[in-house]
Every structure is written in structure tokens, then in C-alpha cells.
Copies of this chain bind each other. A is one copy, B any other.
């Protein structure tokens, strides 16, 4: 993919003001993506929850209609026509609830899964950077050292500390730069993939609905309409 900006990994050891400034731009961009993606994630979670609730409520309605026969109605409870009509309603509404359940599963796999992964895995990388403060502490100790007359043992310890923390910082920055670069590579896909998944799931749902259900339902409703008018 062309036009994607990169943090230069070779600059991580130097830690120059220019690199720090470029890092700042990347961090700002990451914060903006993170904020936007979190909003989109929440909206998609709402869609997914509502779809699940719709599926469950539709299933419950179908189950209630199936249970009509088990109710004890002292008057006219043995009405065959009413009973079989409600059983047919139960059946078609159950089929619709199956379509809803398929849609829920597809939304889970093709929409929620990729956006959750991106949110949990790629957007969380930035918190690792907090480790860098270790190095700042070591540098501080080292700079105070030169002004005082300390013994060789303390001096050797502080130098060792600076070396260790600088090595640690270098590794952390390498990871961090990699994570921020990866985010730049992934950010478009991260937005588009769940949207594509959402659309595909909706198209399948409408196809399933219109091909398998609509004609069957219309015939059924025609029959009911006539028998209710009688």
C-alpha cells in the first residue's frame, strides 16, 4: 500500500528531538484513530446487542404461540381452527427467528470479531511506552553524579544502570515504533473489514428472508385472512 508513513526504526537508538517530534505526530494520529474506532466499536456493539435481543424476543414469541395449546381456557379452548392457525404462526415466526440467529452469528464473526481484535490488540500497544520513564530516572541519577565526589563503586553502579535502562529503552522503542507502524498499515483495513462483514451479513439476511420466507408467508397470510373473515 503506497502513501503510508513510517517511523524510522534506525532512529530508536539515537532518540533525537526530530524522532521524538515525529513520534508525537504518530501518537496523536493513533489517539485519533483509537477514539474514532472506539466510537464505531460501541455503535457496532449496540447493533449486535439489539440484533441478539431481537432474535431472542422473536424466539420467545414463537414459543408462546406454540404453548397456546397447553393453556387452560374454560370457554372455547378446544377450537381446532384457532389452535392450528397459531401453530402455523409459531412455525413461520420460528423460521424468522432462525434467520435472525444466523444474522447474529455472522455479525459476531465478521463484524465484532475483527473490530474487537483491532481494539484489544493493536490499539492497546501504546500503553507499553510507559516503561520509558525508567530510563529518564537513570539519566537523572547519572547527571547528578558528575557534580558530586562519589566513590568508584557508586559511579560504576550508576553507569551500569544507565546502560541497562538505555538497552531496555531501545528495545521498548523498537517495539513501540513497530506497533505504531503496524497500526498505520492496519488502520484502513480495521475500519473497512467490520463494515464489509456487516454488509455481507445484511445481504445474506435479506436473501434468506426474501427467498425462503416471503412467498411461503404470503400464501399463509392469504389463507389466514380468508379464514379469519369467515
Q: Is A221 an interface residue (CB 8 A)?
A: yes
Report the separation of the CA atoms of residues A207 and B46 in the bound assembly, to the nearest whole angstrom: 25
Interface string of A66-105 (1 = CB under 8 A from B): 0010011111110100100110010011001000000000
Q: Is the interface of A mostly helix, strand, loop or mixed?
A: helix
Contact A54 B57, beta carbon cutoff 8 Å: no
Contact B32 A46, beta carbon cutoff 8 Å: no
Contact of A225 among B64, B72, B79, B196 (CB under 8 A): B196
Given contacts A196-B221, A203-B218, contact A47 B61 (CB under 8 A): yes
Copies in the complex: 2
Q: Is A172 an interface residue (CB 8 A)?
A: no
Contact of A217 among B60, B86, B203, B217 (CB under 8 A): B203
Interface string of A191-206 (1 = CB under 8 A from B): 1100110111011011
Report the separation of the CA atoms of residues A194 and B32 in the bound assembly, to the nearest whole angstrom: 47
